[in-house]
Amino acid sequence: MAYAIPGKYQKYIMTDLPKYVEVTGHLKPAPCWIVPGMFPGVNLAIAGNDASKIVGAPHASPHVHDHPEIYLAVSDNRGAVVTEFQLDGEKFQLESPYAVFVPPGTKHCFTILKCDSPHWAFGVGVMDWKGDTVT
Ligand SMILES: [Zn+2]
């Protein structure tokens, strides 16, 4: 390592990742890269997987929570990740890149249908969301 981390910044740096967290509806502990309270005033949960390692394996049963969640899949090329979503019983598919806002109270889950090379898919829990009720 080229430089030591200055002491005043050490509380802002986390390298012991991911944190495996039990999440409502999830079939196994979620690999979380950011958890609420990890940094001062940051009330986010960011879980994510290499989508190529979870093809065909639902990450969770359909579940509901009182905060919104944003599903995010990043890729340079369209269609690197193909995902089936279920929102309140309705199913649809998207090709990456995508960001999907899941309103609070919406029953949701997803399954990666295709991903042939390492690409990351994230679920971002916005724990202290202050938006209007979404209809
Ligand atoms: Zn969720």
Measure Cα distances from 104 to 51, 59, 129 in Å: 24, 19, 9
Distance in Å, CA 106 to ligand 1 centroid: 9
Distance in Å, CA 73 to ligand 1 centroid: 15
User: Taking the model in full, what pTM does it have?
Assistant: 0.90
Distance in Å, CA 39 to ligand 1 centroid: 22
DSSP secondary structure code for residue 36 in this structure: T
Distance in Å, CA 124 to ligand 1 centroid: 9
Query: What sections of the chain are H helices per DSSP?
Result: none
**pLDDT score at 59:** 80
**Of 50-59, 86-95, 103-112, 126-135, the least confident:** 126-135
Distance in Å, CA 1 to ligand 1 centroid: 37
* Tokens describing residue 9: 């910044």
24 pLDDT band (50/70/90 cuts)? Answer: confident
Distance in Å, CA 125 to ligand 1 centroid: 7
Q: What's the whole-number mean pLDDT along residues 49-66?
A: 92
Cβ pair 120, 89 in contact under 8 A: no
